[in-house]
Amino acid sequence: MTTLVLLRHGETLLTPERRLSGSGGTNPGLSPAGRRQAAATADALARRGGIDAVVTSPMRRCRETAQAVATRLGLSLQVERDLREADFGTWEGLTFAEVRARYPDDLDAWLASPEMPPSGAGETMRQVAGRVTAVRDGLTVRYAGATVLVVSHVGPLRTLIRLALQAPPHSLFRIEVAAASLSTVTYEKDGTATVRALNDTHHLN
């Protein structure tokens, strides 16, 4: 059985305001609160033990979170470009309320279909799911029988959870993945996936 422990990056200054922050935006680093979250997560995972590898999105907030954990665990950091967040186009930096006010038809279309990109962006959520699936398949082969920490963003992590549940694409928006939360998915040799933990933030208290 292969285990993926899914860690969302710690907070940036945009996170508390729930502003869209994708791969086409400003690429912010962790805020002071986010750095504290990363340290607390590193301590919790060190106590837990059993992490064999740390893999991260290349985006700054994820690399900073992942580096805190990898340093604490004495592991090297591996970067997977396809774990990056989606590109939100002209929605970057906006709240959903602001997107709703400025691009109501585009937002409705995006929420209704994984084939529709955000305004001004080229990548759809179906394409995001495709690259995230490829990363998952590669990791379960490369680290068969091991436990891998995957540090990424809301979109990719929700996608991994949705796929494990065999849930439809629209369910993506009904999965909560808080900043610095931990979720766990296991994969049997035949590919059967089981979600064993979801959105755990107890280590941040």
- Residues carrying an active site annotation: 9, 85
Q: Could you tell me which residues are beta bridge partners of residue 77? A: 54
Residues in the chain: 205
**Nearest-angstrom CA–CA distance, 64 and 51:** 18
Other C-beta atoms within 10 Å of 95: how many? 14
Query: What is residue 134's three-state secondary structure?
Result: helix
**Nearest-angstrom CA–CA distance, 197 and 205:** 17
User: Tokens for 129?
Assistant: 């799911």
User: Tokens for 2?
Assistant: 């292969």
From residue 124, give the alpha-carbon distance in Å to each of 118, 131, 137, 191.
Answer: 7, 11, 20, 25
Q: What is the DSSP letter of 24?
A: T
In the chain, the amino acid numbered 141 is V
